[in-house]
Amino acid sequence: MSLPKDFQWGFATAAYQVEGATEKDGRGPTIWDKFCAVEGKIADKSDGSVACDSYNRTAEDIALLKELGATCYRFSLSWARIIPLGGRNDPINQAGIDHYVKFVDDLLEAGITPFITLLHWDVPDGIHQRYGGLLNREEFPLDFEHYSRVVYKALPKCKNWITFNEPFCSSILGYSLGYFAPGHTSDRKKSPVGDSSREPWIVGHNLLVAHGRAVKVYREEFKPTDKGQVGITLNGDYAYPWDPEDPEDVAAANRKIEFAISWFADPVYFGKYPDSMRKQLGDRLPEFTPEEEALVKGSNDFYGMNHYTADYVKHGTGEAAPEDYLGNLTTHSTNKNGDSIGPETQSFWLRPNPEGFRLLINWLSKRYGYPAIYVTENGTSIKGENDLSFEQILDDQFRVDYFRTYVHAMAKAVSEDGCNVRGYMAWSLMDNFEWAEGYETRFGVTYVAYNDGQKRTPKASAKEMQKIFKEVM
């Protein structure tokens, strides 16, 4: 069991979750700044205005990465720092560009390879207010293309680019459930605006087209000289049939992955949406124009994989509701025999199941022709971690076990199954603003003392990570 010698491993974060300094050096507002200000949207009534203060502590973060032995670091840029209002005809903020140029230079000087995500959910509020942001099929892809070009030009030393993080979450959590910014949903108790039966599919389509535009720009204008690669990061759980003897549960488990992952991956690799989605959603799922299909099909140099957990899946017994986004099925933490998918964590949606990680790597590899895969997020919260003493938090053996079993499962997918996994980035380098859960949930390998100047202290999982990778390399 071994990974290739040039395998990259490290950690991941996202701009709004760690940077803070939301009003410093000309940064504009984002949809998350506005969403956090709405009463009841964030569990502890917090926001990302300070977070981990990483904007002011890049040297400290790089020193931490170096101390932990990381060879790469995935982080996202704040679009609103670079183009505060977001649009292609809006002013560019040089201070924002300069910040990221220095950060990339400093990472490379420390021997750490940057993986940059262009957009990790924090859409500039300027374009959201101007034309509806992600809902606009004409304007959004063009503005994202422009932003991408500005960034590629400013950061030629970065060779690894990710257009979007988890478009599923932007679409479903932001425009169906209303759980994430901008909070659209058909549930009028939660939001005065939104159509959960249509908007998420429109948003997903627009994100794919915008991704295609950004990839085309990189390949035509920058790749010949910069020699980098670009892809998109998709999230998804593995799905086991609730009753493996029931053909309908077996089909539903496969459909669950298609609705979560193939919704975006099939257009990128095959130029069309999955048949299972078209069958259920009909004309609510947009059609690609010939121009859009040409932009999207083949627009991945690698597959970015975010993965945390698995589910047992039971088929639906009637017609799917208009707002259904799962694929006419239900998910369960136990199967027909009462077997649990894995132990509870602080996150209601996350139960560790390392074998599911190996199985999903194989599922993706077989469906998409064994692409180069970078695991761009993988990690766990711990039930009640935020209520433990400082010493107990640092001794996070549950997380150590999670990483060891998941990394070993990934290594088996490579060495025994022939999958082409090139890198792994643990979520997350440090505790941070966990979106709608605020600061109540911790995912970091490094403890952040939010009430003591954002002081960082590595946990056991941080110190073990290098040892875990030495076991499989």
Active site residues: 166, 377
Look-up: residue for tokens 């910069």?
226
CA dihedral 333, 335, 341, 343 (to 10 degrees): 60
Contact between 305 and 424 under an 8 Å Cβ cutoff? The reply is: no
**In terms of C-beta density within 10 A (0-12 exposed, 13-18 middle, 19 or more buried), how is residue 473 classed?**
middle
Per the listing, tokens 């670079």 go with: 82
DSSP string for 285-299 = SPPPPHHHHHHHTT-
CB-based burial label for 212 (10 Å; 0-12, 13-18, 19+) = buried
Running DSSP on this structure, what letter comes out for residue 320?
P
d(CA 312, CA 247): 14
**Which residues, listed in sequence order, are joined to residue 374 by a DSSP beta bridge?**
304, 423
What sign has the CA pseudo-torsion 188, 193, 199, 204? negative
Dihedral over Cα of 140, 49, 389, 446: its sign: positive
The H or E element that residue 117 is part of is strand 113-119
- The one-letter amino acid code at 25 reads D
Residue type, 318: G
Dist CA 282 CA 292 (whole Å):
19
Rg (CA), the chain: 21
Measured in whole angstroms, the distance separating CA 453 from the mean position of its chain's CA atoms is 27
Tell me the C-alpha distance between 36 and 241, whole Å.
Answer: 37
Degrees to nearest 5, angle at CA 370 with 365 and 375 = 65
Distance CA 430, CA 443 (A): 7
Decide: residue 425, CB within 10 A, 0-12 exposed, 13-18 middle, 19+ buried: buried
Question: How would you classify the pairing of strands 303-306 and 373-377?
Answer: parallel
Cβ distance 311 to 256 under 8 Å? yes
Q: DSSP readout, 58-100?
A: HHHHHHHHHHHT-SEEEEE--HHHHSTT-STTSPP-HHHHHHH
76, β-bridge pairs? 117
